């Protein structure tokens, strides 16, 4: 809710009453985005990944010695918390998705492409990475 102030000097030209000023507090900003802990180094177990339109999640399917496991990724930015090998693996293999879900599925693909192009993965210092990118541009 804004705070209401009555201006002492300025007057409305038609009504000749003091102007009322509404001041809003600045919004609070997240300084650090909370990232989910992701399973690291699953490249040797990776089989495929797909976008599940029913739940709105990307599903990474893994298989090791006959035991199947899935990793469900709700937010595309969680993919920035994967290891470097895992980012490369997901970049090389395109996800499966229904045609109706193409917009949502491509959000995951775009994040993986950016992570691959700018070498963004778990264990990277973001501040030094952004400084390096600004120097090259």
Residues 46-77 pLDDT 10s = 999 999 999 999 999 999 888 999 999 999 98
* Model confidence pLDDT, tens digit, residues 75-90: 998 898 899 999 999 9
Q: What is the pLDDT of residue 45?
A: 92
Q: Which of left, alpha, beta for 96 (phi over 0: left; psi -120 to 50: alpha)?
A: beta
Does the residue 61 lie in any domain?
yes
φ and ψ at residue 35, rounded to 5 degrees? -110, 140
Residue that the structure tokens 């009322």 belong to? 20
The predicted structure's pLDDT at residue 123: 80
Assigned domain for 25 exists: no
36: confidence class by pLDDT, cuts 50, 70, 90:
confident
User: What is the extent of the structural domain holding 67?
Assistant: 43-136
Does residue 10 form part of some domain?
no
Tally of structural domains, the chain: 1
- Residue 35 covered by a domain: no
CB 48 within 8 A of CB 63: no
Round to whole Å and give the CA distance between 42 and 51: 18
Query: Mean pLDDT across the chain, nearest whole number?
Result: 88
């Amino acid at each position: 809710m804004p705070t209401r102030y009555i201006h002492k000097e300025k007057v409305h030209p038609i009504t000749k009453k003091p102007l009322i000023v509404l001041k809003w507090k600045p919004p609070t900003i997240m300084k650090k985005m909370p990232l989910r802990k992701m399973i690291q180094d699953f490249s040797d177990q990776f089989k495929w990944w797909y976008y599940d339109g029913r739940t709105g999640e990307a599903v990474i399917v893994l298989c090791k010695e006959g035991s199947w496991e899935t990793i469900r990724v709700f937010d595309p930015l969680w993919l920035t918390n994967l290891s470097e090998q895992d980012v490369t693996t997901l970049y090389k293999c395109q996800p499966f998705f229904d045609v109706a879900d193409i917009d949502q599925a491509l959000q995951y693909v775009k994040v993986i492409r950016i992570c691959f192009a700018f070498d963004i993965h778990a264990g990277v210092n973001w501040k030094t990475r952004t400084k390096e990118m600004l120097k090259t541009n």
